[in-house]
Chains A and B, each alone.
Chain A
């Protein structure tokens, strides 16, 4: 099955920047994968998302070298701050989620169906008639994801989607990802929240100053979580556990 996006030796520089944002990155992302991109701030994770979805250089400007093939029919992207991703024109959640299909000129019946399906997938059907301006951060972010999914993209990029959410809402959002991947969506996720990402990711990439330095199973490739660092300090051998249950499982009783 063809990968949703393939990059071969991709190098990208933002307009007017002297620093290269991505250097020689090669990778493929297939349907059903949940790929987490980790790296220090400024290492290029957000840039990778923009390049993989085709938003860079098209809307962002800059120069792209190397080869990029986006097989995905359509891409979606979700950023950290829910309120900057709303149209600001819709007084109901249903309208907001319907925005994409409506822009695509789909017939009204189809628009309604696509919106309903997306809201169902994100568990927000009960919010359909609510005003987005009165929702909590967690609810709003789910509206944003539903809106991104309404046009049934084949690749969904999420840039630190839970940054503004409280722990329960963050957990709920991450839990939504595996079922979406199981339905065939390719998911690319950039986040500093290694612990939550590790619970759902099927694969991990690590970027360092724009270069891809690791690509493999999350437990092996991801930088240590808080628990991992603790375990290492307590004498646990590598690979370090990602969360508390994993740590407890490594203790010989």
Chain B
């Protein structure tokens, strides 16, 4: 499934008298992997909720491909956008993992590649287990599998790596990279910059309901000062790149590892 582009034009939104989004405009081209970062309350989640018609802007326009989101319902938007909530594991209900993952595709009338997605996220051993008997971090992966199985052209994920260990995070990274390569548009809200470094080409910073910065990932994730104002530090790969002045501002682990391969290593002092 190839992707859709996302267009947000001059959008405003308030919760009561609190202005959550002030005149925000953003365009994400089909197939672009983008990360949305910023402090809590900056408006990141609000922006993503607009894209799936969970809320309607007070002003401005939101479009996914040729669809004007204002005229759609969330269940209609599900045909194009797969939204993975921050606590998506709360949505699990079926009698088995397999059944739950198949729920979304069946709602959409699409053939579900459930087994393939379960394999992809190493959930095959749990396929016939009740979701609530699955350990908590794996439940998050089950929720993700349920959305991936819907084969959407756009993926929006809110803090997908919270509570996951390194190997689980690697599975999510691989799944998203695979989809990006196929042309799916990926938008991730995350403060896990190590994860952002592995999947995003572009980073948009939100602050106080506005877009404060919109830069290439290789630029922003190497900018320790800019990140410090957000209470964040550069991801490990960028820290290494900064300290060793590696050329090309490498972000992905494999890039940094390749660059370091010629280096001489000391035996550990211990």
Which A residues fall within an 8 A CB radius of B? 40-42, 80, 136-137, 160, 163-164, 166-168, 192-194, 217, 219-220, 223-227, 229-231, 233-239, 243-244, 247-252
Contacts and interface: CB of A to CB of B under 8 A. Distances in A.
A168 B192 CA distance: 11
Given A234-B260, A244-B236, A167 B191 contact: yes
B94 to A, nearest CB: 20
Given A163-B163, A220-B270, A235-B265, A227 B236 contact: yes
Contact of A41 (B136, B232, B243): B136
A82 to B, nearest CB: 13
Interface in B90-148: 134-138
B224 interface: no
Given A166-B231, A250-B268, A194 B162 contact: no
A140 to B, nearest CB: 12
12 contacts: A40-B165, A41-B135, A41-B138, A167-B192, A226-B253, A230-B240, A230-B257, A237-B268, A250-B265, A250-B268, A251-B244, A251-B260
Contacts, number: 106
A164 B137 CA distance: 12
Q: Majority SS of interface residues in chain A?
A: loop
A229 B236 CA distance: 12
B265 A230 contact: no
B266 interface: yes
B68 interface: no
Contact of A237 (B164, B167, B254, B265): B265
Interface in B242-270: 243-244, 253-254, 256-258, 260-261, 263-268, 270
A166 B191 contact: yes
A233 B258 CA distance: 8
Given A40-B167, A249-B266, 15 more contacts: A41-B137, A163-B163, A167-B192, A167-B231, A223-B166, A226-B194, A227-B236, A231-B260, A234-B256, A235-B265, A238-B268, A244-B240, A251-B265, A251-B266, A252-B264
A227 B256 CA distance: 10
B40 interface: yes
